[in-house]
Amino acid sequence: MKALVTGGAGFIGSNLALALLGSGHEVRLLDNFSTGHRSNLDPLDAELVEGDLRSYERVATAVADVEVVVLRGALPSVPRSIQDPLSSTAVNVEGTLNVLLAARDAGVRRVVFASSSSVYGDAPGMPRQESQAPAPLAPYAVSKLAAEQYCMVAHRVYGVETVALRYFNVFGERQDPLSGYAAVIPKFIRLMLDGRRPTIFGDGQTSRDFTHVENVVEANLAAAAAPAAAGRVMNIAVGSAHTLNELTGTLQRLLDSDIEPEYGPPRPGDVSESLADISLARELLGYEPRVEFEEGVQRTIAWIVEQRAAHEARSL
């Protein structure tokens, strides 16, 4: 199979490209390096098309002659979208539509779209089920929901097989802990390794269904092929929730640290609770999360420590 991974220089995209290559597939990457890193491409024997999702011309070049597109490219982060909703909308919605139209024009068999648990917002009802009415709280969540709907329309109207996977708080190796919009787990690990106190926004009882990247990669590989998945939306998570207070306690134990978190006011756009029902993904994809929370945190710590050591060695 020949696959295109958009956002292939990013955290999830590069992990997915590695898995595809390891399974013997031919891989092409599309990235503009706005959030991805060229260093993530070092171990990848893949063709690179450098360009922006907002350019139909570049997208069409990248899509040519591929069987499956994994649409990872996006402008992530709830806080970023609150600061700059226009850019989030342009990349996440218009960029997705460019991919879908280019896929239609090139005869691509399937597009697997990376959606987000943020589309549920603070709607009542846990665990989150795909049948629940979305209630997005931030521009990022709105953009993901709109792109998701474009995927469903492309399937019904244009005959492009589309699958939308709603990721729940993905973390793991190759995730940038230094980004200004770093996800909570790598950010907290980096701060505590530096002897600094992480900041929890709210009382620490905010919960998340933290999902290691290996689980997400496996879900994408299954979604690229599963016949029953076409035209469907499904949750990809572990199916268990952990509070931010639990997370910091786990990090204290694994890092042998007595650093305590600081607490700040809740941030706008953040949901208070997140937990997924993954029964639909189990049914349609044969999905089963392999990496549980603590194992995933241990792997992430090991990767960040290794990267820091390599950086220090290069600086000598």
Active site residue 150: no
For 249, phi then psi, to 5°, come to -65, -40
- DSSP code of 138? S
d(CA 261, CA 197): 5
Catalytic, out of 56, 120, 140, 263 = 140
Residue 262 pairs with which residues in a beta bridge?
Answer: 199
d(CA 27, CA 13): 11
Tokens of 78: 């709830």
d(CA 213, CA 197): 25
d(CA 161, CA 152): 9
CB contact burial 59-68 (16+ within 10 A = b; e otherwise) = bbebbeebeb
Residue 202, helix vs strand vs coil: coil
The residue length of the chain stands at 316
Q: DSSP of 7-46, one letter per residue?
A: TTTSHHHHHHHHHHHHTT-EEEEEE--SS--GGGGTT---
Strands (E), the chain: 2-6, 26-31, 47-50, 68-71, 110-116, 161-167, 170-171, 199-201, 207-208, 211-212, 232-236, 242-243, 262-264
| Enzyme catalytic residues | 140
